[in-house]
Chain A
């Protein structure tokens, strides 16, 4: 199975900050990577697919990059609504696997 490792596990940030989350795959997955945002008690929400494609309706302050084994999610100007947990997911190979999550907390 492909292991997905996110870093950091948590980050404290302020409104207006730039936040970058990294996701590393244990083997190459081309660009078959998605990012999700999840708030407590809610279902995940798709932000980015194929590494860098912004899902319809998602604010442009979210961006993704990378290919192969290293990927990043950047929130360019953190807003109050962005405090949540973020997950990466590879769908290059079954079983699909998720990273362990990165919690973005208010500083």
Chain B
């Protein structure tokens, strides 16, 4: 079974840091495009970042220079290091897989909640 499980969410103060992790099973993350998508409370979906199968990391402008996406091929995980967090980063963060160019996001995790508040 193809599965993604996120972890690492929680409550953090503005300006703080948090590291999210997404563990994959049933497939190899390095063979796919892996992405983070977030959803603020009561809002729609917002793409955050992608780490493609070529090793390229691309970010939304809203998180550029604050967030870093990475991949651990040994652990088969996708991570998101989030620094200088703001209230506007409060959301459920989903990791998702794309098989490759042209495909949609076909495997999603259950999401992990990040709350940025003092």
Residues of A within 8 A of B (CB): 1, 32, 34, 36, 38, 43-46, 48-50, 55, 87, 89, 91, 94-101
- Chain A residues with CB under 8 A of B109: 43
Inter-subunit contact A43/B110 (CB<8 Å): yes
CB neighbours of B50 from chain A (8 A): 94, 96
Q: Which of B47, B61, B104, B108 touches A43 (beta carbons < 8 Å)? A: B108
Is B106 a contact partner of A97 (Cβ separation < 8 A)?
no
The listed residue (A1, A55, A91, A96) touching B106 by CB distance below 8 A is A55
| Given the contacts A43-B108, A43-B109, A95-B60, A49 and B103 also touching, CB distance less than 8 Å | yes
User: Chain A residues with Cβ under 8 A from B98's Cβ?
Assistant: 91
What residues of chain B lie closer than 8 Å to A89, measured between beta carbons? 45, 47, 104-105
Residues of B with C-beta under 8 A to A98? 44-47
Other 8 A-B pairs with CB < 8 A, given A95-B58, A99-B44, A101-B44 = A34-B104, A43-B94, A43-B108, A43-B109, A44-B37, A44-B108, A89-B105, A98-B46
